[in-house]
Amino acid sequence: MSNASQQSSVVVIGGGYGGITLARALDEHAHVTLVEPKDAFVHNVASLRALVEPTWLPRIFLPYDQLLAHGTVVRDRAVHVDADQIVLASGQHLKPDFIVLATGSTYPFPAKSDEPNTVDAIDHYRAAHANLERANQVMLLGAGAVGLELAGEIAAAWPDKHIVLVDLADQILPGPYDQRLRDELNRQLDNLGVERVMGRALAHLPDIPPGEAGTFTVTTTAGTRIEADIWFRCHGITPVTGYLGDELMGARTHDGYLKVTPQLQVVGFDRVYALGDIAAIDVNKAGVAARQAQVVATNIQAHLAGTAERADYNPAPPALILPLGPTGGAGQLPNRDDIATAEFVSQVKGRDMMIDRYAKLLNAHPTVPS
Ligand X SMILES: Cc1cc2nc3c(=O)[nH]c(=O)nc-3n(C[C@H](O)[C@H](O)[C@H](O)COP(=O)(O)OP(=O)(O)OC[C@H]3O[C@@H](n4cnc5c(N)ncnc54)[C@H](O)[C@@H]3O)c2cc1C
Q: Which residues bind ligand X (CB under 6 A)?
A: 13-19, 35-38, 44-45, 47-48, 77-78, 102-105, 107, 111-112, 146, 240, 243, 276-277, 284-287, 289
Minimum distance from residue 284 beta carbon to ligand X (Å): 4
Calpha distance 356→45 (Å, rounded): 12
* Single-letter amino acid, residue 209: P
DSSP 3-state of 40: strand
Calpha distance 84→65 (Å, rounded): 27
Q: Which is nearer to ligand X, 206 or 331 (CB)?
A: 331
- Bridge partners, 137 (sequence order): 162
Reference 314, options 292, 297, 333; nearest CA is: 292
Does 110 sit behind a cis peptide bond, omega within 30 degrees of 0 on the bond before it?
A: yes
Minimum distance from residue 359 beta carbon to ligand X (Å): 15
Residue nearest to ligand X (CB): 16
For the purposes of burial, counting CB atoms within 10 Å of the CB of 103, is it exposed (0-12), middle (13-18) or buried (19 or more)? Answer: buried
Can you give the three-state secondary structure of 173-218, one letter per residue?
CCCCCCHHHHHHHHHHHHHHCCEEEECCCECCCCCCCCCCCCCEEE
Q: Which is nearer to ligand X, 102 or 339 (CB)?
A: 102
Contacts for 154 with CB less than 8 Å, ≥ 6 apart: 52, 132, 138, 161, 163
- List phi, psi (to 5°) of 23: -60, -45
Q: Which is nearer to ligand X, 5 or 366 (CB)?
A: 366
Taking residue 221's Cβ as centre, other Cβ atoms within 10 Å add up to 12
Minimum distance from residue 102 beta carbon to ligand X (Å): 5
Minimum distance from residue 16 beta carbon to ligand X (Å): 2
Helix, strand, coil shares, percent, the chain, to 5 = 30, 25, 45
Minimum distance from residue 244 beta carbon to ligand X (Å): 10
Q: Which is nearer to ligand X, 14 or 218 (CB)?
A: 14
Reference 148, options 282, 228, 283, 48; nearest CA is: 48
Minimum distance from residue 289 beta carbon to ligand X (Å): 4
Minimum distance from residue 207 beta carbon to ligand X (Å): 26
Minimum distance from residue 291 beta carbon to ligand X (Å): 10
Q: Which is nearer to ligand X, 45 or 359 (CB)?
A: 45
Calpha distance 81→246 (Å, rounded): 9
Reference 223, options 197, 260, 192; nearest CA is: 197
Minimum distance from residue 219 beta carbon to ligand X (Å): 28
| Gyration radius (Cα) of the chain, Å | 21
